[in-house]
Amino acid sequence: MHIDFNALAYLAGQYKTENRMSLLKNAGKGDPAEGEKLLKAEGWFSGDSLRPDGEALLEVLAAPERSGRVAIREGNVLIEKLGYKKGESYVLAEHTESGFEVSRSESLQPVLMALSQVTGMSRVVAYDLELELSSEDALIYLGLVDLYRKTAMLGLWSVPVPDVNVEALAAHLAAPVAGSLVAMVKDRRDFEVTLKPADLKARLVSGLGAASEATSGLVKMLDSGDLRLAGDHGKFAMEFLVPRAVTTLEVFNQVGDKLAGSEAMVVSAGLNEHLLIKFGGGQCALSLISGSYLLKLIENVLKAPALEV
């Protein structure tokens, strides 16, 4: 069933809800009168009442207990799909140009096959990268990756793995270029690194540069005072050049009178280059994943799973 924005505005007036996950709570602007006419013309009503199948859909959309949202931005195209659960009842909503296509879909396979055109289905991962970092260290690491990417793009692949000036890194963290990994993270989370170059260098020595279990010495401090990403991290940064798609993954659960949530994003730059960034409190988990694993994550999110709280 398709619900356009006018119909959504009408239904939002009929099913008033304070549920922050509800599609009706976020109905936006539309003409309720036009929406009522459209719903009646399309056979949503039996007499003066909604048909039972339509009412069953709206009971879930008005007061879901769990929800999952997947949004994929590729160029000028935005693909957005949402899963809602209430008890054992499930509704899938797919954003269209004029509203939402809603269904009580029993299988997500058609949706996943369509999305695989964007994610790919490869099981290959370009590099073994898996990190658990504080929000500050995650931004610093991504800032280094950004500056490597910048050097590689400006050099058109004719440059060796670069060394990074601490002052340049501090400037990038303070005012990241739009489209950079640092900017993408800061757009989603209130993360900041406001360290002067000397303090940033000290932080690197004790953090990403330390040979700890968490970082394994990700950054080398050179005698010149410059910085160098160690091992495969430099190679990854030099190859992860132009993001072609960004996938947002969100899950929310109503727990009593509180809303619990989980958020992650995946930046895709190539067939086997999908950078997963999971947010949690003041921490970030970064890992490279395959296209097939990304599809699994999307499937799990759209099922609106229960969160561990």
Domain boundary assignment for the chain: 130-239
Q: Would you state the pLDDT for residue 307?
A: 93
If you average pLDDT over residues 86-106, what whole number do you get?
93
Q: Give the chain's mean pLDDT.
A: 90
Q: Does residue 92 carry a pLDDT above 90?
A: yes
- pLDDT of 211 strictly over 80: no
Confidence at residue 214, expressed as pLDDT on a 0 to 100 scale: 55
Query: Are 207 and 140 contacting, i.e. CB atoms less than 8 angstroms apart?
Result: yes
Q: What is the pLDDT of residues 1-50, one digit of tens each?
A: 889 999 999 999 988 888 999 999 877 788 999 999 999 999 888 888 88
